[in-house]
Structure formats: structure tokens, C-alpha cells
Amino acid sequence: MKRLDQTMTPLFTALKDYHSKNVIPFDVPGHKHGVGLRELADFIGDRVLEVDVNSMKCLDNLSNPIGVIAEAEELAADAYWADYAYFMVNGTTAAVQAMIMSVCEPGDKIILPRNAHKSATSAIILSGAIPVYIQPEINEELGIAMGVSIQEIERAIGKHPDAKAIFLINPTYYGAISDLAGIVKIAHRNGIAVLVDEAHGAHMHFHPELPESAMSVGADMAAVSMHKTGGSLTQSSVLLVRDGIVDAKQVRTTINLTQTTSASYLLMTSLDVARKQLATNGQEMIENVLTLVRDARDKINKIDGLYAFGKELIDTPGVYDFDETKLGINVRKLGLTGYEVYDILRDEYNIQMELGDNYNVLAIVSLGDTKENLDKLVDALYDISIKHRRDEEIKLKKSILKNPDLIVAPRDAFYSTKHSILLEDAVGEISGESVMVYPLGIPIIVPGEKITKDIVEYIKFLKEEEVVLQGTQDPYVDYINVLGIE
């Protein structure tokens, strides 16, 4: 098959041509090339606002692309070995929702791990699908969920052969990879579509030493956060589709149900340019990323009390492969929680990590990182290991990441009559809303699930650690909505 010329940037080129013509704007947006919003223009630069424009003939329209946007999407599909690519400007959340809503009708079953992002839960509510949750493997020493096993997938299909789709994560937030190729074969043998949340894997397709991407192993759809590790602007994403089980035309129709009709050309052109960079120079750039992260991981592992986990986890439960660009660091032997180290790094060393949890902090190492900055992280961690170490290490607690009982379908629970009660009084009740930690965005409880004592205690612990919690109507999560009339 002849590949397309990946040096081309049709949308970006068209936008530059539009800008060069100095068109007089009597259309939206109302700031009119930044003239009407000088304070922002003075801070971020005139050109940014000069190219913040609306859809027009020369720039195509994302809702029905037949020009330069269509050409840019075709190049993206070619770069990722997909049949179709759709630009998304509502984030990968919208892409995940479009995947599930394209395949699942009300009442259809979808198999997915319990550590799926909240966007999958939202899509289940929107589509009316019935979730069949499977248990990801848990690394109790690290206190985190890994991938799912082939055996768990086979058991789920055996119990639910009528499932329409399997939803998987490739990779997990911490870099764990399931045997995606094996799962695709099993699913397709049973006529089940494979939908992949590849939010943290935009880069993997472009280097041979990284795990395989969803499209390269034959998955039916993949939601790819180009902005996370692919270099595009925040909120820009790509939804990749393979012809066959999935109807690509239906996917486009589904996207248009929820995606804005006023798509940002800043976001779309960043996708165009980021795709070109990955396709033409990605291997070299990612080679540099791997060199940096491997060096940092080696140095961190020489610091007493720290463990930067990596490819040695391969062949442990739930880890078929591992994305080395995820620099997860276990800190519990310092006597500190990951939440504490996260705050110390930010407050005392001006270093922003991606997240902290009970036992770990996570750094995402990607195209824009430098040796200087990684050395600063290593030096800060060494400093923390001396200045902040406590005598007693954090004791391991058995993970509570076991599936709560689903009593009511999420869509039905979401639309049911609810009332608010104190969190500590909610044990045994059916939740009417989600509770999740952010970042991660993985729900602790979702609508329709039974609230247990362990879940209440875990949420209270997170509040004590001043972790950012989301999902409840009460911003402080002192109260939670449960099903039923008060």
C-alpha cells in the first residue's frame, strides 16, 4: 500500500494562507483577530488571535469536512495505519463517548475494566449501555491497577457472549499494557468490537521499542490524546477507526451529536502539525525521550527509599508490555505518601508532576522534555529523600480497587430521583453520582453502584490528604446523592 506524503500539512498551510491575506472579518469570533481583546492579545501574542477564526470555504468545516480538514484527517489516518481519522476538539472525552455511542445502543452490553476513565462512564450513561466490569490486575506493592488478563476477557465473554464491545486502556496512566493483540483476536472471533482508550499512547506508534498501538494490532477504534504525548494543543485529540465491525459513517454522525460546530482552528492545526512531526521525525524525537527517561529512572533507583518502576514489571500480572515514558516513582519507603511528595515537589522545588497517589508520583516524559529538567527532578527527589524522610515507611493497605456491586444501570441511576445525605451515612445506599480523583479521572463509585464502608473510608482518606475530588454536586464531598426519595 502506498503511503501518503506525511510532510504535508493541508490545514495548517491553508490557515497560514488565510492569515497572509489580511481578510476584513465581519464573521465570528467577535474579538475580530484580537482587536477586541487586547489584554489577552498583549499576553499571548497577536498572531494567536489573528488565526482564531471561524469555519469558511477555504478552511473547511469540521462537521462535514470535504476540503483541507478532510485532507488533514486522511493524513492522520495514514500515519496511524487506520482507515479513518476524525479530529476532535472536545478532548479525548468526546472521542471515547463517540466510540461507545457508535457501537452500543440502549441495553447493549460493553465489557470494560473498572479503572476506565470517567469519559467511558459518561458514554455508558449517554448511550444507555450496560457495563460488564472486569477486574484489572492489581500490583499491591505499588498500590495501582495494571492491565487486564486474557483469562479475564475470556471469562467475561463466556458469561456475556452477547456483548457488543470491549473497551480497553492502552496504556494505563502508569504505563502498563495488556495483551491487546491477543484480546483483539479473541473479541473478533466472537464478533465483538474492540474500542481502545489510547489517551496516553499517542507516541507509541512511532518507535519500535515502544508497545504496539491499537491500530497496529487491529483494534476497531482508538481515542488518541495527541495533546498528552503527541505534541498538539490541550483539548485536541484524534479518533481512529478501522472499517469492518464498526461503521465509519455512523461514527461521524455520532461525533456530530456532541462535538461543537465552532471548532477551534488553533486546536485543529496543532493536530495537523503534530501528526506531521510524529510521522516524519517521531522516531528520532522519541529515541531522545527514551534516552532521557531511562537515565532518570536509573538515577532515581540509586536513591535510598525510591523505586522508579519500569520494564522489569513485564510478565507480572496485568503487564504484557510497558511504556517507559511513564516515569512512576514509588515513595512509600520514605515514609511519605505520593500526595505529600507531589505537593513538596510543587511547593518547594517548582516542579509539577502529573499526579500523586497513596504510594507513588508520576512524571509524563514526552517530546518537549530536556535533560536539564529531568536532572532537576532527580536532584529534588534526592533532596526530599534526605530532608523529608520519616522513620517509618508508609504501610501497605490492601487495595480497594475491587468492583462495587452494580445494582441499577448507570443511565437509569443518573435519571432516577435522588436525595443528598452525609457521606458517612451512605454505606449500603445506591450512588446517584460519581466520585473520582483528578487527575486520573477514574471513578471510585459511579451511578447505580452500591456504596460500601471501604469506599466511604477511602474517600474520607483522600479528603484528609487534600486530594482533588470531582463528580459530586457538593464540591467538598461532605454529601453524596443517593437513589430514592428522602
CA distance 274 to 61: 20
CATH 3.40.640.10, the chain: domain bounds: 10-279
Architecture of domain 283-387: Alpha-Beta Complex (3.90)
Could you tell me the CATH superfamily of domain 410-483?
Orn/Lys/Arg decarboxylase, C-terminal domain (3.90.100.10)
H-run or E-run covering 327: strand 326-330
Q: Looking at residue 308, what is its pLDDT?
A: 98
Q: Looking at residue 276, what is its pLDDT?
A: 98
- Before 171, cis peptide (omega within 30)? yes
CA distance 343 to 355: 10
In 59-207, alpha helices (H)? 68-79, 91-103, 118-127, 150-159, 180-189
Q: Please answer whether residues 424 and 456 qualify as being in contact, where contact means their C-beta atoms are separated by less than 8 angstroms.
A: yes
Q: Looking at residue 398, what is its pLDDT?
A: 62
Residues in the chain where the model's pLDDT stays below 70 = 1-2, 398-402, 439, 486
CATH 3.90.100.10, the chain: domain bounds: 410-483
CA 442 to chain CA centroid, nearest Å? 10
Q: Looking at residue 47, what is its pLDDT?
A: 96
Retrieve residue 351's grid coordinates: 516542579
CA-based nearest residue to 217, from 191, 186, 255, 246: 186
Q: Looking at residue 164, what is its pLDDT?
A: 98
- Before 211, cis peptide (omega within 30)? no
H-run or E-run covering 129: none
Q: Looking at residue 438, what is its pLDDT?
A: 73
Integer CA distances (angstroms), 398 to 127, 139, 172, 211, 392, in order: 34, 10, 20, 29, 18
What pTM was computed for the model?
0.93
In this structure, what are the phi and psi dihedrals at residue 306, rounded to the nearest 5 degrees? -115, 150
- CATH number assigned to the domain covering 10-279: 3.40.640.10
Per-position DSSP letters for 423-441, written without gaps between them: GGG-TTSBBSS-EEETTT-
Q: Looking at residue 386, what is its pLDDT?
A: 97
Retrieve residue 462's grid coordinates: 483522600
CATH 3.90.1150.150, the chain: domain bounds: 283-387
Q: Please answer whether residues 483 and 426 qualify as being in contact, where contact means their C-beta atoms are separated by less than 8 angstroms.
A: no
CA distance 71 to 241: 16
Q: What length is written for the chain?
A: 486
CA distance 455 to 176: 25
Region at 171 (left for phi over 0; alpha for psi -120 to 50; beta for the rest)? beta
CA distance 6 to 279: 6
